[in-house]
Amino acid sequence: GAVVSQHPSRVICKSGTSVKIECRSLDFQATTMFWYRQFPKQSLMLMATSNEGSKATYEQGVEKDKFLINHASLTLSTLTVTSAHPEDSSFYICSARDVNRPALYGYTFGSGTRLTVV
Amino acid sequence: AQSVAQPEDQVNVAEGNPLTVKCTYSVSGNPYLFWYVQYPNRGLQFLLKYITGDNLVKGSYGFEAEFNKSQTSFHLKKPSALVSDSALYFCAVRDISGYSTLTFGKGTMLLVSP
């Protein structure tokens, strides 16, 4: 089945530094990937839609300059949290859609990244 | 705009008893509905989906869900709960008329006691 690998699973960084999170589709090509943020005991909040070869589409209220998304290939999207602050601490999850399968079937999720900014 | 409501923050059930996790939705057109499960510090795992056809959908781990168009509901059910079913469950909806992302409910924590 479709597998999405997300790395790292956990990261602790100092305030002011940047952190990159990778999302890879291992056995399929993904023209579209989605980045979510999840607060404790809360649902997933869609941050942005990442499209291969073009700029990401950010949801309202999400800072583009803070959450940099790059989708340079059909199997890799990255989310970089720039100048991280403690309030950026959260659980980040990516999702990928298989380009060869109908859109409504192709949502496969990564295992998530727990970011802690100290 | 599409939306999903999961009215219960938490559902408690004893092992061996049937369980129901409720979900209602709102979309402008025909819905595509999904249930996902999340274990602590993990991503979401797909359980089942309703696209079209039979209103009773069977999924992974013995779960099933019933689509009710008149009540705009898609409740998740299992005849006999296991302790290992304890997790966070998300209902999600997508409108087939062009909106390409999933909208999630806030999640329901299922706790199955031995």
The tens place of each residue's pLDDT in chain A, 118 residues long, gives 678 999 999 999 999 999 999 999 998 888 889 999 998 777 889 999 998 888 899 999 999 999 999 998 999 999 999 999 999 999 999 999 877 776 555 588 999 999 999 9
The reply to whether residue A104 touches residue B94, judged by beta carbons under 8 angstroms, is yes
| Mean per-residue pLDDT of chain B | 91
Query: Which residue, among A104, A113, A115, A116, would best test binding to B if mutated, counting the most B CBs under 10 Å from its CB?
Result: A104
**Phi-psi region for residue B16, left (φ > 0), alpha (ψ -120 to 50) or beta?**
left
In angstroms, the CA A91 to CA A11 distance is 10
Contact between A1 and A96 (Cβ < 8 Å): no
**Phi-psi region for residue B84, left (φ > 0), alpha (ψ -120 to 50) or beta?**
alpha
Residue of B51, B94, B107 lying closest to A43 (CB–CB):
B107
Task: Give the chain A residue nearest B105 (alpha carbons).
Answer: A43
| CA separation, residue B67 to residues A69, B2, B13, B76 (Å) | 36, 17, 22, 9
Per-residue confidence (pLDDT) for residue B97, from 0 to 100: 63
Structure tokens at B34: 């999904």
The alpha-carbon gap from B37 to the nearest alpha carbon of chain A, in Å, equals 11
Torsion of CA B5, B75, B77, B83, to 10 degrees: 0
Judging contacts by C-beta atoms under 8 Å, the chain A residues touching residue B106 are 42-43
